[in-house]
Structure 1
Amino acid sequence: MVYSYWSLFCALAFASYSSASATTSTRNIIWVDGPDQGTNQTDSGTPDNITQLVTENTRVTHVILSSAHLNNPTDAPPYVNFWSDLPINSSKTAFIWPQVKQLQQNGVKVLLSFGGADDGSWGHLLDNFAKFYAPLLQALKDYEFDGIDLDIETDYTTAGALQLLEKLNDDMGSDFILTMSPVQDCLSESGDCSFGSINYQYLDNNGSYPDRANSKLVSWYNGQFYAGGGDGANSPSEYETVVDAGFDASRVVFGVADCSVDGSGWYPLSTYNSTVTQLREKYGSDFGGAFGWDWNNAGSCDGLAHPWQWRVLFCNL
């Protein structure tokens, strides 16, 4: 993802959503990145409170906090960075955890986004998996995340991705949500990725786990249908290409940029609503849902004052 340090990746789950299930065919997801110069901020410079996702009845089902990376200091053990390279336990990020807890208490699942365009994290895991996996696992437990999204936009091995997914499943249990965020062309029949080097066809075919929802290691794929790897959010065709390549529609979330500053391939709400309506008509309850990248800027390109307003209009199709 093109990170804007306070992005809530909101994968959209629609009316049929059941909050406890990773198998739900439609999802309503939003990404939340860390505080920076995002458009929709309060006068104090902090982002709009994400509890508005429940108080304003946006019907969001999943929130993905973005993003975490692995740090390797020379004079201390490795640790997890979060938001602008802050340690995840920094006092500057403390305000978000009560908000996260309130979302969870209202049935919203909260995931941690890991990776992105950061070369270091994936290289560290390849160099010494046990050493660098340990702080990541501890962070997931300490902050009681419901799942993790792996965003691999640099060179990493498919075998390494499978190893990480399997270890997370073993340590966090079969109910822990495991998702990935490839750009659209990575999920095409050719599998040629604009970002990253994972063979998602191979990974999915070899990631079968009977104890997990869908009997798959990866609960679903948060497809990026924007930012170069797939800028076709103005029609159903690129999503249909992914399904035709063998990925079940129930496990593919349709991801869009919710403002032009969040990546190429932005379109106004009316265009997204038209595309999603067509996808829902074609796939029915098997449609996997949608997400917008990201919370900070959601709605600002459509003339809306607050991100939650964009979420409401996107959800109420």
Structure 2
Amino acid sequence: MPTPTSNRVVVYLQDQSQNGLLPQCYQNLTAINLSSFHFGFDGPTPYIHLNNNVPSDPMFHTLWTNMASAQQNGVLLFAMLGGAGGAYTELFQNYSTFYPILKQMLITYRFDGVDLDIEEFVSPADLQMLISDLRRDFPSNFYITAAPVAMALKTGSDPLAGGLNWSHFKQNIDWFNVQFYSGYGSLSSTSDFNEIVAQGYPANQILGGALTNPSNGGGYVNISQVMYTLQALETQYGSIGGAMGWEFFNANNSGEQQDPVGWAQDMATAVRKNPSSSPA
């Protein structure tokens, strides 16, 4: 599969209640970020879990079938590691134990990449170790992405990751699923995106990430406005990294109706993912 270098549409899938709609979105999606993976111990036994259950739990049988179907239709599958529930403290405190478990899980379920959503203190040395090990252990077409808040890239100091400076890692990150919400940035205009590019990040490495529904967090921007901003950025830069949404199950379309399929179509139009699409 050719490397997607711009105009991507990425969606996070945590609540799986609507993943049956995904087949209608395949042509409009670049990647699904399956959320969220964490580490823990069951007594003395270490394990990795997807939300609250191990990946092999029978409850995920339909999920894995659907994810394989998505991949067969050209959609990349990512394991989102971390998020609000944490993961990295446990990983790095027991790295020789947990990294092999992570590696095997990625192989077993045939992931195309990992999305690093760091919302806890992580040292630059530990992050570099993780990235280096993933690059060593997986083929060249295995992707590593990250999901910092917009403020982290604008200021050079990630407020959720102990001041981590992502500019030191941008050569090893395929793209950034940037969170332009929760008070750390906004897609109500092009200004925050432009400030990130002014810090030396290529426009085609930055995805404009927005909430798909006002119930998903603070700083919601209407989907029609998100589209307008992304289209303006596409015009300004020629092509940008694309669009990202948190999350799929209750995503609104540009008419502010809950419609995950419509959301994917609208985002593909906004970032011109498909050659037949044109800005509204």
TM-score (norm 1): 0.80
Contact 1:195 1:229 in 2 (8 A): no
Per the alignment, residue 75 of structure 1 pairs with: 44
> Greater helix share, 1 or 2?
2
Distance in 1 of aligned mates of 2:212 and 2:178: 14
Taking only the aligned residue pairs, the percentage that are identical comes to: 29
Q: For 2:54, which of 81, 87, 95 is the aligned residue?
A: 87
- Pairwise CA RMSD: 1.7
Q: For 1:192, which of 135, 157, 162 is the aligned residue?
A: 157
Per the alignment, residue 12 of structure 1 pairs with: none
Distance in 2 of aligned mates of 1:227 and 1:181: 13
Aligned 1:27-106 pairs, distance under 5 A: 27-35=8-16, 46-54=17-25, 57=27, 59-76=28-45, 78-83=46-51, 85-106=52-73
Q: Deviations over 1:112-159 (max 9, x none)?
A: 10011223x211222221111111111100000000101001111111
Distance in 2 of aligned mates of 1:124 and 1:251: 29
State the shift of 1:191 in Å. Answer: 1.7
Contact 1:156 1:196 in 2 (8 A): yes
Q: For 1:221, which of 165, 173, 176 is the aligned residue?
A: 176
Check 1:253–1:182 CA distance in 2 against 1; reply closer, same or farther (3 A cut): same
Structure 2: gaps (5+ residues): 271-280
Q: Deviations over 1:2-22 (max 9, x none)?
A: xxxxxxxxxxxxxxxxx5204
Per the alignment, residue 159 of structure 1 pairs with: 125
Distance in 2 of aligned mates of 1:118 and 1:268: 27
Aligned 1:1-317 pairs, distance under 5 A: 20-22=2-4, 24-35=5-16, 46-54=17-25, 57=27, 59-76=28-45, 78-83=46-51, 85-119=52-86, 121-188=87-154, 190-197=155-162, 198-204=164-170, 216-230=171-185, 232-285=186-239, 287-299=240-252, 302-317=255-270
SS in 2 for 1:51: helix
SS in 2 for 1:312: helix
Check 1:259–1:54 CA distance in 2 against 1; reply closer, same or farther (3 A cut): closer
TM-score (norm 2): 0.91
Report how many aligned residue pairs link the two structures: 269
Per the alignment, residue 13 of structure 1 pairs with: none
State the shift of 1:260 in Å. Answer: 0.8
Distance in 2 of aligned mates of 1:95 and 1:222: 26
State the shift of 1:48 in Å. Answer: 4.0
Check 1:199–1:303 CA distance in 2 against 1; reply closer, same or farther (3 A cut): closer
State the shift of 1:300 in Å. Answer: 7.4
SS in 2 for 1:72: strand
Contact 1:233 1:265 in 2 (8 A): no
Check 1:303–1:252 CA distance in 2 against 1; reply closer, same or farther (3 A cut): closer
Q: Deviations over 1:30-69 (max 9, x none)?
A: 110034xxxxxxxxxx3241433446x4x11111111111
